[in-house]
Structure 1
Amino acid sequence: MIQRLVLFCSFIFSTLVFAQASAVAGEAEGAVNPWPEIRKERINTLLPRALEAADVDAWVILCRENNNDPLADHVGCENAGAPAAYVFYRLSDEKDGGEFHSLVFSPSSEATALAELEIHDKVVSVPRGESALKQATDFIREHDFQRIAVNSSINNVQADGLSYTQRLALEDALGDKFAQRLVSSEELVYEWLAIKLPQEVDIMREAARLTAEWQIEAYKQVVPGKTTDADVARFFKAKMAEHGVTDAWAPDQNPNVNSGPDRGHSHATNKVIMPGDVIQTDFGIKVHGRWVSDIQRFAYVLKPGETEPPEDIQHYWESARAGGRAAFDAMKPGVRGIDVDAAQSVLMKQNGSEHVMWSTGHPVGYVAHDTGPNLGGSRGATVRPAAKKKLKAGMVFAFDGFHAWKRDDGTTKTISVEEMVVITEEGAEYLIPPQEELILIPSE
């Protein structure tokens, strides 16, 4: 069964993906970071569509040193010193043809280097002592933009980078008439960040492959009665250091290795792994300092004399696997996130699962819980706004197949085997082959 799980290690990637895989092996390889070119393509191809989908005429991002906007390095202002203003806009007059433009009002101290990156249509060098904000707001008033997006959002922290004082300064510079035209960039940022370019998907595919491969390697190191959950976690940390990658989420909780009852999002403990345990490993890596993976693999520790899991454990596994497949089959363009969750919930109830609080899945990309539709809401008391959003081609998700049960001591254990998929025009496509069977760990 283990051999069946690791067949994906023989997958042959294209020359581009292989080069990206080499970069995952560490910056010492000297591979070029693909982000600058990908960033440029995202701005030029995906951002215009996002402005149109959000019905926004202009998007203003204010950048500054030390406490910068969360999207600074997505638009090229990660090196801001003195305050700068970035304006992305559409013009609908006949002369311009409704084309998309990007314009930066940058302090002269940063303008030269920024222009050399060739990310934006135009970089205006603002002399020392003059205000980039004033020049940007003069430009906005001159073009009489009607809907002006700014990074203020209650629901999405990635679209909430404008500080209170920056907002006041912006409104004051715009004047009352134009300040009343400010709208949240939440929908724009949602439309932009949720879609990944094919080359980004290829990078995450390789990250997912390594993540799952190391999990299988880690389970081979387990000696029942001796190895602790924390020992397994240290194996992953060593692998990450060896390959020059970093954590996909909080380092203290990555990986979460748990051979006991449910602990939710947590750190690995010194619990000793014993025969009869079901082991969960929730693990993700960040490659190129940008893209992340999120994969869970499950193992069962055979008791002396066992050659396969007992009937109840096998049922739990098959139930979780079936729930995950139901969610996979439901993931198509135009389907709401809550409906994907509901497709699994029906099977969970039929198969006798205990209640599971977690959503079936979430977007994954630049962070583990990225911007995009939430695959949840059908089992909870409240429904997140993102759960009512529809899936689109180019979105990437991590999603779980669930089954929870009561252990003999009254605690709960949940199988939540987690896979990664990209949405295509036809439906969902696994980034790597899914786990088909429990990994079996023999007892001496």
Structure 2
Amino acid sequence: MVISMSHEIQKAKAEQACEILKEIEIDAWLVWVRETSQMADPVLELVLGGDLVWQSALIFTRKGKKLGIIGNLDTNGVKAKGIYDEIIPYTKGIKEELVKQLSRLDPQKIAINFSTNDVAADGLSVGMHMLLKDYLQDTPYSNRLVSAENLVQKLRGRKTPEEVSRIRKAVEITEDIFEQATGFVKADMTELEIYEFFHKSMVERGVTSAWNEDHNPAVDAGPNKQFGHAGPTENKTKKGHLLHFDFGVRYNDYCSDIQRMFFFGEKKDIPSEVQDAFETVRDGIQTAAKFVKPGAVGYEVDAVARDFVKDAGYEEYQHALGHQLGRLAHDGGSLLGPKWERYGDSPMGIVEVGNVFTLEFYVTTKSYGQVSLEEDILITRAGCEFLSNPQRELICIN
């Protein structure tokens, strides 16, 4: 049996990489890797879709050239993907061929994958960087190496139509599972029971977890469970209490990330303290969605929601308003966040058409714990489009 795998997304992203190089006036991009099953550069899933064993150089140029210098036993597998114009195999060592090809192309700027701000653009290991400098020490190219951060952020962030289609489907499946959950959850269930229901639902739909399974979904019952990246417990749901979810699936390599709030009781039983908190979060997300558009700066979008929360009398949330979504739930690139040290320069990034972001934050009530929502949006030329159906009111479980 012959297994046929499509690499249409990788082909499109490789072409896109060359276009971005031209846009940002960098001559070449060198993806320099080895033994990627042990330590994979995050960009490989976009421009290769597989592993490489020996030292390998994937080179993209602003003139549209895509070539790979690959260990001999990897060659046929890479050729079969149809992504690269030229594959050059080597047997004993890559240095001579690498220098030869760089001399032929003679790039004045060579982008390589290091970044202090974005882990998705920081795939070059220290050892491989040292090795590259050693191979190039007697050439002019050693002094032409620059960070590929800007390139990688644009490449990951500007989703192709097929990438958007897959994210839409992931969101659709996530919302379907949430809808099914409204008929399953009830008071006096443990978080673990509810967690198992979500995992069974994912298996039934042929999808996997968008992040580590031990805390996907996050299931937070009642006023004393702190929200965050922690798993479910024996803590039980109770009448008059809130139930919070943070849940996402991976469909065909692309992710969703959505938060929802349930209340155990009838609508008329919702305490005003809870209702006010819910409306603040709901309306704050909508306010940010109306503001965000191509050309906006990440920290400016965050400030719209953050000021909305503070003006409503709540303490500001202790995280960024939104991260990018794609092959990973946290997909790197520009961040809709405050100018805090921990975020580096990511909040200074510019929002672009084709970016997919989350919009999420929480507020804390005095007696009922935290209230948090999260929606997924696509940046369009006109502003943004909600990929998820925004939660407009608390989901009441009678």
TM-score normalised per structure 2? 0.92
**SS in structure 2 at match of 1:135:** helix
**Post-superposition shift, 1:381?**
7.1
CA distance in 2, matches of 1:362, 1:77: 23
Query: For the Cα contact (< 8 Å) 1:374–1:384, is it kept in 2?
Result: no
Equivalent-residue separation in structure 2 for 1:336 and 1:106 (angstroms): 40
1:276 to 235, 240, 264: 240
Residues in 2 aligned to 1:390 and 1:269: alpha-carbon distance in whole angstroms: 40
Distance (Å, rounded) in 2 between the aligned partners of 1:349 and 1:70: 37
The alpha-carbon deviation at position 216 of structure 1 amounts to 2.7
Residue 179 (structure 2) aligns with: 216
Unaligned runs of 5+ in 1: 1-31, 91-98
Give RMSD over aligned pairs: 2.1
Q: Is residue 85 of structure 1 aligned with residue 57 of structure 2?
A: yes
Alignment of 1:408-423 (within 5 A): 413-423=369-379
Q: Does 1:377 align with 2:349?
A: no
Which of residues 216, 219, 223 is equivalent to 1:257?
219
Q: Provide the secondary structure at the position in 2 that maps to 1:87.
A: strand
**How many Å apart are 1:334 and its aligned residue?**
0.4
Q: Which residue of 2 aligns with 1:38?
A: 9
Per-residue Cα deviation, 1:212-254 (whole angstroms, up to 9, x for no partner): 2212322321221x21111111111111122221111111111
User: In structure 2, what is the Cα distance between the partners aligned to 1:381 and 1:398?
Assistant: 21
Aligned partners of 1:280 and 1:415 also within 8 Å: yes
TM-score with structure 1 length normalisation?
A: 0.83
1:121-173 deviation line (CA, Å, top 9, x unaligned):
111222x22x2343122221333211111122222222222222222221122
**What is aligned with 2:357?**
397
Alignment partner, residue 41 of structure 2: 69
C-alpha displacement of 1:335: 0.4
Give the letter for the 1:432 counterpart: S
Judged with a 3 Å threshold, the aligned counterparts in structure 2 of structure 1 residues 334 and 75 are, in CA distance, closer, same or farther, namely same
The verdict on how the C-alpha distance between 1:56 and 1:256 changes in structure 2, with shifts beyond 3 A counting, is same
Q: Distance in 2 between matches of 1:391 and 1:402?
A: 23
State whether residues 348 and 402 of structure 1, in contact with CA within 8 Å, keep that contact through their aligned partners in structure 2: no
Q: Which runs of 4+ in 1 moved over 3 A?
A: 380-384
Deviation at 1:383, TM superposition (A): 5.6
Amino acid at match of 2:199: K
**Kept in 2: contact 1:333–1:425 (CA 8 A):** yes
Query: Of the candidates 116, 122, 130, which is equivalent to residue 168 of structure 1?
Result: 130
Indicate whether 1:236 and 2:192 are aligned: no
Is the CA contact 2:321–2:336 (under 8 Å) kept in the aligned structure 1?
yes
Residue aligning to 1:122: 86
The Cα of 1:415 is off from its aligned counterpart by: 1.8
Taking the aligned partners of 2:78 and 2:176, their CA distance within structure 1 comes to 40
Name the counterpart of 1:433.
389
Q: 1:106 to 1:381 in 2, by over 3 A?
A: closer
Contact 2:159 2:354 in 1 (8 A): yes
Cα pair 1:323 1:402 within 8 Å, conserved: no
Is this contact kept in 1: 2:260–2:374, CA < 8 A?
yes
Q: Which residue of 2 aligns with 1:355?
A: 316
Deviation of residue 120 (structure 1)?
0.7
Distance 2:207 2:158 in 1: 24
Q: Give the Cα–Cα distance (whole angstroms) in 1 for the partners of residues 337 and 216 of structure 2.
A: 23
Task: In structure 2, list runs of 5 or more residues that go unmatched.
Answer: none
Whether the 8 Å contact between 1:256 and 1:281 is mirrored in structure 2 is yes
Asked whether the 8 Å contact 1:87–1:136 carries over to 2, the reply is no
Q: Counterpart of 2:389 in structure 1: which amino acid?
A: P
SS of residue paired to 2:274: helix
8 A Cα contact 1:228 1:273, kept in partner: yes
The residue aligned with 1:145 is 107
- Is residue 194 from structure 1 mapped to residue 164 from structure 2 by the alignment? no
* Aligned partner of 2:326 among 355, 365, 381: 365
Distance 2:31 2:342 in 1: 32
Q: Identity, % of aligned pairs?
A: 31
- Secondary structure, counterpart of 2:9 in structure 1: helix
2:200 is paired with a residue whose SS is helix
Is the contact between residue 308 and residue 440 of structure 1 (CA under 8 Å) also seen in structure 2?
no
CA contact (8 A) 2:55 2:94 kept: yes
Answer whether contact 2:116 2:344 (CA < 8 A) is retained.
no
Three-state SS of the structure 2 residue aligned to 1:362 is coil
Task: Pick closer, same or farther for the CA change 1:33–1:364 going to 2, 3 Å.
Answer: farther
Cα distance in 1 for partners of 2:244, 2:298 equals 25
Matched residue SS, 1:363: coil
Match of 2:72 in 1: 108
The aligned residue for residue 182 of structure 1 is 145
Aligned-partner SS, 2:111: strand
* Shift in CA distance, 263/416, structure 1 to aligned 2, threshold 3 Å: closer
Cα offset, 1:64, TM superposition: 2.1
